[in-house]
Amino acid sequence: MKRLFHYVELPPAWLALFAGVAWLQARLLPLDLTGRAGDMAGMALVAAGLAVSGWAALHFVLERTSLIPRETPNTLVTTGLYRFSRNPIYLADAAILLGLILIWDALPSLILVPVFIKVIEWRFIRKEEAAIRARFGAAFEAYCARVRRWI
């Protein structure tokens, strides 16, 4: 059980949970309100989310620091997409969720997107920022002053 909890404490598990709820809603209450335009927009959001997530994760690899939320990074990553958002991977996750909701025509599940963002803030971002603030101090404060949490 402890091992399972270890994986639940990773953001992709939360994305999968929220996507699963949206998928279930689409199966139980099928709606075809967005048509081809919704499918295309959804596919674009999923593709963009995957690309942003990969590009942002690459910066952690290039800086040789941890991408795991429960680990404190040894480098403050402020390059690439991190110049525009302190959390581009989480932003990408929200875009992926929104895209899947559009593809599945799960419009009642649109409410899940802001709920997902709040859960990510509560479960991960607050703890991550506290650890990073403790590790990097004034450098992180300066970064926070010039770069927003989301966009």
Residue 35 scores a pLDDT above 90: no
Q: Return d(Cα 44, Cα 85) in angstroms, integer.
A: 20
Task: Report pLDDT for 30.
Answer: 82
In contact, 97 and 113? CB cutoff 8 Å: yes
Per-residue model confidence as pLDDT tens digits over 49-78: 999 999 999 999 999 998 888 888 899 999
* Rounded CA Rg of the chain: 17
Task: Enter the pTM of the model.
Answer: 0.92
Residue 6 scores a pLDDT above 60: no
Q: Return d(Cα 101, Cα 6) in angstroms, integer.
A: 27
Residue 17 scores a pLDDT above 90: yes
Distances (CA, A) of 21 to 35, 59, 78, 117: 21, 31, 34, 15
Mean pLDDT for all residues in the chain: 93
Task: Report pLDDT for 7.
Answer: 55
Give the N- to C-terminal CA distance of the chain in Å, as an integer: 37
Per-residue model confidence as pLDDT tens digits over 87-96: 999 999 999 9
Task: Report pLDDT for 8.
Answer: 65
Q: How many CB atoms lie within 10 A of CB 89?
A: 23
Task: Report pLDDT for 5.
Answer: 53
Q: Return d(Cα 16, Cα 114) in angstroms, integer.
A: 15
- Which residue, among 108, 116, 62, has the nearest Cα to 92 in the 3D structure? 116
